[in-house]
Amino acid sequence: MADIEKRVLGKSGIEVTKIGVGLWAIGGTEWGETDDQESLDMISAALEMGINFFDTADIYGDGHSETLLGRAMKGRRDRFIVASKIGWKGFDDEKGVSAYDTVDKLVAGVESSLDRLQTDHLDLIQCHIDFKEPNMAVFVEGFQKLQAQGKVRAYGVSTSDFAYLQDFNADNKTATLQIDYSILNRTPEAEIFPYTLAHNIGVLARGPLAMGILTGKFSADSEFGEGDFRRNWIENPDENRIYLNDLGKVEKLKPLAEGRSLAQLAIQFVMQHPAVTVAIPGAKRISQLKENVKAALLPDLTADEMAAIDAITPPGGGRKIWPA
């Protein structure tokens, strides 16, 4: 078991390893083919490597990701810090409003997640909707009710919209923010990270590998399978232009990865920001997981390395990676 540094997750007081595992991909619907046993083996391996933080959502594989995590936790729930998210199921795109228009509905939705996870509590529940919609107050009130009942230990929001984060945290009880952050997307550094530091909000940094772009394994000719949303990077002309620009930045980053993989460099960068509590790169296989964990055991990037990254994507610069 690796001795991975632990950090306190904002005002929740919960201690988490500075690297966790994002479990979107194991849902099996949007990241190409998956194998359930391989996913379960990966989760067990993460635990044995010293990771304690796992992030999922009710919509990942329509609940399948939560179900798999529940199976993996059986008999050892105490070793897991579990975060899930709620909000998109039944969302009315036409009206721009969530299906959770009462506290009772929200509580029932979270209880469905608890059933799939086979646990009596979540360590963290997050509003998955990334913009302010009419039922925001229902989420805050519902989360606080669940907290009072002991069904969740802390709550937060997943967004890159600064005004929305401030509104969600109007009473200063929001413990966490989940946000897309990477070498290619440094936009949170401008306003959001100073705010989270000032208000003791723990940051879960998703997308540290920019949907795989920062692994350095993709090219202009890369192909993505059926059901993989990244096909749009090739097939959609606007997205393709952005993708090719990102690949150009990756080429400039590669010389900095000496003695480690480019993915490890990218994860190191994210974990090193003082506002970030935990980086949550996704993984489907143990081989990917091992590469990610190594990044948590490397020394900090040097001032020269940071300056070289700044020259490629300036502080506060870059662009949001879907779904930011």
Catalytic positions, written as ranges: 60
DSSP state of 81: E
* Pairing of the two strands 53-55 and 81-86: parallel
Q: 316: number of CA atoms within 13 Å, CB side?
A: 5
Could you give the CA distance from residue 203 to residue 180 in angstroms, rounded to a whole number? 10
- Whether the CB-CB separation of 80 and 73 falls below 8 Å is answered with yes
Residue with tokens 């590998």: 209
3-class secondary structure, 202 = strand
Residues pairing with 126 in the sheet: 85, 156
Task: Give phi and psi for 177, each to the nearest 5.
Answer: -130, 130
Structure tokens at 211: 């949907």
Between the alpha carbon of residue 116 and those of residues 21, 68, 85, the distances in Å are 18, 8, 13
C-beta of residue 262 within 8 angstroms of C-beta of residue 253: yes
Strand partners, 127: 86, 157
- The Cβ of residue 108 has, within 10 Å, a number of other Cβ atoms equal to 12
